[in-house]
Chain A
Amino acid sequence: MLSRSAERLYWLARYLERTENIARLVSVHMNLLLDLPKGVEMGWRQLILINAAEKEFYEKNNIANERNLIGFLLADASYPGSLFSSLSAARENIRTSRELLPDEAWEQVNEMYLFAKNNLDTVADRRHRVIFLNEILKGCQRFTGLLSGYMSHNHPYRFIRLGGNIERADMTSRILDLASLLLSESRSNEMRQYETILWMNVLKSLNALLMYRQQMRSRVKGDDVLNFLLLDINLPRSVGYCIAEMYDCISKLPNNDQLLLKLIDLETYVQAIDIRQTTQVQLRSILDVIQNKLGGLHTQISDNWFLTASGE
C-alpha cells in the first residue's frame, strides 16, 4: 500500500469522524438548550470552547449567539474546523484514493457533500437544521457500515479505522473537558439543580446514554459517567475502547514497534486514572495529558508510514 494512500485514507477517516462529531454535538446541544433555563453556565458558547476555536470565532463575529455560532460551526467554509470544511476535506481525500475503496464509498461521500453544499443556507433555521444534521449523521453511518460490509479488512481499512479512532478519542476527551464544568466548586445553584440533565447530555453527545443505563444500572452521576466514558471496554466512544481499537489496527500493520510502545504507554496511563472525587482542576490536567499523548501518537503514525508529516 502506498504511503500517500495510507495518509489520505487516515485523513479521510479523521475528517469524516469530525463531521459526524460536530453534527451530533450541535444536535444534542440544541436539544439541551431547549430544556435549560437561562442563567445556567451552559450555552452555545460551549460549542466553540470544545473545538478550541474561540479566537477564530471572535475574529469573525461579535457575539456568541445561536445564529453566529451555527453559521460558524456548520457552514463556514473558511473555518477549517467547521462541519462543511471537514466534509469537503474528507471528500477531497476520498477523491484521491478512490482506487482503494468500493465504488459506493466515493458516491456516498460525494452525495453527502452535495447535499450539504446545497443546503448550507438552511441551517440557520432550527427546524431545517434538525433535518440537515440528521441527514449528515445518517450519511456518516452509512459510510461506516458500507466499508465494514463491502471492504476487505486489510491495510487500507486499518488506516481508516486508525484515523477514525484517534479522532474519536480526541473528541471524547474534549467533551469531558466541557463536562469538567460540572465539577467546578463555584458552579451556580441553577447548575447544581440541573446536574442530572447535564450529565445525561454529556452521555448523549457520545451516543452513550442507553449503553450507560444498561451497564451501570444506576442513576446518572458524575463519577460514573466519567468512568464510563474514559474506561469502559465495550463502549465504542470511550477513550479506552478507542485505544484498544487502535492497538488492534497498529499491531497488524508493518513496522509498528515504536507505535505499540507509545500506545501501551497511553493505555497504562488511562487505565490508572482514578476518577473518584476528582476536582475540576485534576480532571482538566488528566485530559490535557491524554490529548497530548494522542497528539504524540499522531506524529508517530505520520513519521512511521506517511510521505509527509502533515495532513491535507
Chain B
Amino acid sequence: MKIWKNYKTETAYDELMHSEFQSRPVSHGLCQYLDSLKKEDIDKRKMAAELAIMEMGITFTVYSDEGNIDRAWPFDIIPRIIDAKEWRIIEKGLKQRLTALNCFISDVYSDQTFIKAGKMPSGIINSSKNFRKECIGMKPRYNVWANICGTDLVRDKDGIMYVLEDNLRVPSGVSYMLENRVITKRVFPELFQGIDILPIDDYPIHLHNMLSSIAPHQNGQVTCVVLTPGIYNSAYFEHAYLAQQMGSQLVEGKDLVVDEDNYVYMRTIEGLEKVDVIYRRIDDDFLDPEVFRKDSTLGVPGLMRAWKAGNVALANAPGAGVADDKVVYAYVPEMIRYYLNEEPILPNVPTYLCSKKEDLDYVLEHLAELVVKPANESGGYGMLVGPQATAKEVENFRQIIQKDPRNYIAQPTLAISTAPTLCKGKLEPRHIDLRPFILQGENTFVTAGGLTRVALKKGSLVVNSSQGGGSKDTWIINMEGS
C-alpha cells in the first residue's frame, strides 16, 4: 500500500501506529479501511473535504501587514484516535484540574489562603497582568470564575499525556472541533458504521445549559448572548457559530447598554431588552472602558458595575485570567493537593520559572535545549524553541529573558506525539496536540475528545493555526464490546 510507504514512527510516540507495519489496537479499524482505498480515492476525499470547508465558510483570520485575510481552515482528513478507557481518566483529570483552578481564583480574590499558607510567593499574583483588583470580594455563582476552559494536552515520547497550559480567558477552537466532525462524517460516512465513536455534537446544548445555570436569577426565561469584538476578530466565525447553535443572539458592544439601574440591556426592534448572561469573547482589557482600557470601543461602558451589582453573569468572569499564566501554571499540582486534598491525575510539564534565581541560571545555561515561553501570551507568539533556533535567536532571547525574568518560563522540549497526516498523497507523521473543552457551572462537562491541532510543516512543533497549523477530527473510541 503506497500511502503508508516509509512511515517513520521512531522519533516520537505515534497515536495510531506502533510501527510502519503495525497499527495500534484502537486504530485497526481506521487503518484497515485506509488500506482498502486507492490513492485516487484518498485524493477525492481530500478534495471533498476542502470543498465542504469552502462552502461551509469555515475560516479563520490571519493578521498580517497587508490587512486581515480570511483563510480556509486547514484540515487533515485522517482522524486522531484515543481509546475511551484512557479518555475516561483524562476526563477525570481535567475536571479535577478546573475545579482546583476555580478554587484558586476564588481564593486569590478573597482570603488568599494559598499564599498565606506559603504555597506560592505573593509576588506572582501582584505582578500578574491578569490579576484584576476590581474583582476582589466578588462571588460568582458556584464560586466558578472560569466557566469555559480549553486545556492543551500533549503526549511525550513516554506515552504520558501532559498538561501544557490552561486557557481560562477566552479559549477558542471548539467550533472547529464540531465542524471537523461534520466534515469527517461527510467524507468518510462508511467509517461511522463499524466503529463506536463517541458523539460530540451536544456541546452547544451543554454550553447553553451551563450559561443558563449561572444566571443571576433563576426564575423564568434566561436571556443569554454571545458578545463578540466583531467581524474583524480572528475567531468571529466561532462566535457566530456558537450563537447560532445555541439559538442565542450574537451581540457587539454597541448593541448593549448599561442603564442607571445597573442592568444590562440590548437594543432591539422593540426597544431595550434585559440580558442575564453574557458569554463574552472579549478580553478583560476591552470589556468596560469605565474600568479597564479607556480607549476600548469593543466593550460596554458600565458592564463591570452591572456585574458587581450581581445583575448580569459574565462567562468567563473578569479576572479569571489570573490563573491563565504560565507561572501560575507551575503551581497547579500544588493547588490540587491543597484545595481538593487529592493527587493530580494529569501531570504538568516540568517548568522552570525564570523568576526563581536557581531556575533562571539553569535556563540560561540550557537555553538551546529548552522551550521558552512568555507567561501571558497565547497563539504561539513570542516563544523560543531552543533546538530549532539559530544561535543568534538564542542569544537574542537570552537578553529578552534577563530583562524581564518574571515574564518567562522554560520547559524541556518534548518529543510531542505524532499522527499520520496526509501530505501530498502520502501519510507522514506530524506533531499534534489536543485541546479538550471543559465547562463548569452548576455541573462540570468535558467534550468527548477535543480539537486536535497538527503542525503541518515537517518536523515543526508549533500547531497554532496562525502559524501553519491545521486540525484533525478527534475520535474517542469505545473498544469494549467490540
Contact = CB atoms under 8 A, between A and B. Distances in A.
Interface of A: 1-6, 95-96, 98-101, 103, 106-107, 110-111, 114, 155, 253-255, 305, 307
A106 B57 contact: yes
Interface of B: 54-57, 226, 231, 240-241, 243-244, 247-252, 254-255, 266-271
B269 A155 contact: yes
A256 to B, nearest CB: 10
Contact of A96 (B231, B247, B248): B231
Given A99-B244, A103-B244, A155-B269, A5 B249 contact: yes
Given A103-B244, A110-B55, A114-B55, A1 B268 contact: yes
Contacts of A307: 254-255, 267
Nearest to A254: B270
Nearest to A109: B57
A6 B249 CA distance: 12
A157 to B, nearest CB: 13
A106 B243 CA distance: 14
A107 B56 contact: yes
Contacts of A155: 269
9 contacts: A1-B269, A3-B267, A4-B252, A6-B269, A95-B231, A96-B240, A98-B250, A99-B243, A107-B55
B267 A114 contact: no
Contacts of A103: 244
Given A155-B269, A307-B267, A98 B244 contact: yes
A3 B269 contact: yes
A6 B267 CA distance: 11
Nearest to A156: B269
Contacts of B250: 98-99
A5 B270 CA distance: 13
B11 to A, nearest CB: 40
Q: What is the predominant secondary structure among interface residues of chain A facing chain B?
A: helix
A99 B57 CA distance: 14
A210 to B, nearest CB: 34
Contacts of A96: 231, 240
A81 to B, nearest CB: 23
B240 A95 contact: yes
B207 to A, nearest CB: 14
CB-based closest 6 A-B pairs: A99-B243, A99-B244, A254-B270, A110-B57, A98-B240, A305-B269
Contacts of B241: 98
B53 to A, nearest CB: 11
| Best-surrounded residue of B250, B251, B267 (most CB of chain A within 10 A) | B250
Nearest to B246: A99
Nearest to A111: B55
A2 B251 contact: yes
Given A99-B244, A307-B267, A107 B57 contact: yes
Given A3-B269, A107-B56, A99 B249 contact: yes
Given A96-B231, A98-B241, A253 B54 contact: no
Given A2-B268, A255-B270, A305-B269, A99 B55 contact: no
Given A96-B240, A98-B241, A3 B57 contact: no
B240 A253 contact: no
Nearest to B256: A2
A6 B273 CA distance: 15
A5 B231 CA distance: 13
A4 B255 contact: yes
A40 to B, nearest CB: 44
A48 to B, nearest CB: 32
Given A98-B240, A107-B56, A2 B267 contact: yes
Contacts of B243: 98-99
A32 to B, nearest CB: 35
Contacts of A98: 240-241, 243-244, 250
Contacts of A99: 226, 240, 243-244, 247-250
A31 B271 CA distance: 50
A70 B31 CA distance: 53
A95 B241 CA distance: 10
A88 to B, nearest CB: 13
A305 B269 CA distance: 5
A86 B226 CA distance: 29
A245 to B, nearest CB: 19
A110 B252 CA distance: 23
A125 B270 CA distance: 50
| Best-surrounded residue of B231, B247, B251, B270 (most CB of chain A within 10 A) | B270
Contact of B54 (A3, A95, A106, A114): A114
Contact of A2 (B55, B244, B255): B255
| Best-surrounded residue of A3, A100, A305, A307 (most CB of chain B within 10 A) | A3
